[in-house]
Structures are given as C-alpha cells and as structure tokens.
Amino acid sequence: MPSHRAEVGLNHYLLIIEYDGSRYAGWQKQPGMITIQSELEKAAAVVLGKPVKSTAAGRTDKGVHARGQVVTLSAPANYPPKRFLLALNSLLPKDIAVTGVRKANAGSNARFDASGKIYRYYIWNKTCRSVWRKDRWHIARPLDLGLMKSAVQFIVGKHDFRAFEARGSTQCSKICNLERIKITNHGGEITLTFAADRFLYKMVRNITGTLVDVGLGRIAPDALIGILDGKNRRHAGRTAPSHGLFLEKIEGGKFGDLS
C-alpha cells in the first residue's frame, strides 16, 4: 500500500470525471495502451507544464464507463481549480470530461480515502437489440426479476466474496460489505445498482452474470448461499460484459460531500 505522506512542493487536486470507456484499456496506465489515466495525465501535464501523478478511486477495467470517478492528482504547479477544469476539458478526448475540480489536502489518495462506491449495470431485456443502447447488455430472453430479487438476499451483507472474484486480483482481503443491490425495470431496461465499501476484481460483473443466470432459470436463487460459502469462482455464473457497467459514484469518506 502506498504511503499517504505528503510530498513536499506539490500541489494537490481532487477531480471528478466521467468517461465512455469503450475504446480504452481501462483506467490504469499500461505500456502501449490507451487508457483513461494516460490521457488525463497527458492533458494535465500540458496545462500545468509539469509531469503529474494521479490516483483513481475505482480502477475500472477495459470497456467500463464512469459518471462519477474521483481522481487525486499531484503536480509541482499551482493552478486555479476552475481554470484547470476548463483547460483540461479543452485538451481531453471527447469521451472523457472533467466535471469538477477542487484543491485537495496534502496526502489525499482517491483509492484509499473513499468510504464506498456505487456501480450500476444496465441490461436491455427485449427481443431485438437497440442501436441506441450500445452500452447495455442485450439479453433477448425474458428475465424473471422476481427470482433475481429473491437471490439478492443471500449475498447482501459482509461476506468473503472470492466466489465472485476474477483471477488476476492483487487484493489480499476478500471481505466486502455489500450494502445493497437494487434491481429495477423501466420498459425493458433493467438496472442493477450495487453499493459497497469496496469491490473485488470484476465482482460486480460476476454477480450480475450470476443473477442473470438466476433470472433465466439456470441457477436457483438459494444456490447463491452455497456459491458464496464455497468460495470457488467456477461455481458461480458467467461474467457480464464490460460495456454495461458504470462507476456511478464515489462515496465521500475523507473527501466529504462530492455531489
């Protein structure tokens, strides 16, 4: 875990950003790949005239979107927040936008200072796909939302969620407090809202895929008890595709109100 000690001579900013993750290899910088972090740091370096270092509250995967990502950014340059916002947006690609900037305390770290995250997953549950809903998982067969909602009760709460964690995770603790999963349907557009103190690697997508399998009658709702207790990813359902997932909001924690 990185140190929270303040670095002398640096100015610190807190940014709220949104992005369409369709053409990006996720948040985190990777050699030879276009990522949200690389585009943001490139634009910020031009504005500030100095290299910058950034940290995001949620390290979204390839193809995942965000409406309320929080980023802390440090640089040896001082810039008024409003001017910084306008300057960044003039340089960023059209599918990334900064919606808020404010000065942050020395030592602020978006990844560790947040108290929780809210994700939403969108499903288009109609026979025909829609060209206007490219960021929805199209499922042609009708989903039984009653079954899906009844399954939720078995996984909400504080548990070891390794049954819903994908391989490749670097997180040591598998315990998460999944506060709620809300499922709604508006004209065939199904939304699953997840709120938790933290999430494991691909946890939201793996739970979503499992709940879809419940809604299709492939998995019984109470089977989630055994899946959770078994701690084996192979016993859970499929992984939902990335394009339907949005990081909706970061809960303030040490940041205070981020609305």
The more confidently predicted of residues 1 and 127 is: 127
Q: Is 49 helix (H, G, I), strand (E, B) or coil?
A: coil
**Mean pLDDT across the chain:** 93
Model pTM?
Answer: 0.92
From-to residues of CATH 3.30.70.580 in the chain: 11-113
Q: How confident is the model at residue 29 (pLDDT cuts 50, 70, 90)?
A: very high
From-to residues of CATH 3.30.70.660 in the chain: 116-249
The single-letter code of the amino acid at 170 is T
Mean pLDDT score, 62-85: 93
Please list, in sequence order, all residues whose beta carbon lies within 8 angstroms of the beta carbon of residue 151, skipping any fewer than 6 positions away: 210, 211, 214, 219, 221, 222, 224
Residue listed under structure tokens 């809903």: 133
Strands (DSSP E) found in the chain: 11-19, 53-56, 65-75, 96-103, 116-124, 137-138, 157-160, 175-186, 189-196, 245-251
CA distance 215 to 78: 53
| Catalytic annotation present for 213 | no
Q: How confident is the model at residue 105 (pLDDT cuts 50, 70, 90)?
A: confident
CATH class for the domain made up of 11-113: alpha beta
Q: What is the pLDDT of residue 73?
A: 93
Q: What is the pLDDT of residue 258?
A: 57
Question: What is the DSSP track for 180-220?
Answer: EEEEEEETTEEEEEEEES---TTHHHHHHHHHHHHHTTSS-
Mean pLDDT score, 64-74: 96
Do residues 59 and 112 make contact, with C-beta atoms less than 8 angstroms apart? Answer: no
Q: What is the pLDDT of residue 75?
A: 84
Q: What are phi and psi of 90, to 5 degrees?
A: -75, -20
Give me the catalytic one of 20, 61, 113, 213: 61
Q: How confident is the model at residue 175 (pLDDT cuts 50, 70, 90)?
A: very high
For residue 149, pLDDT over 70 is answered with yes
Fold of 116-249: Alpha-Beta Plaits (3.30.70)
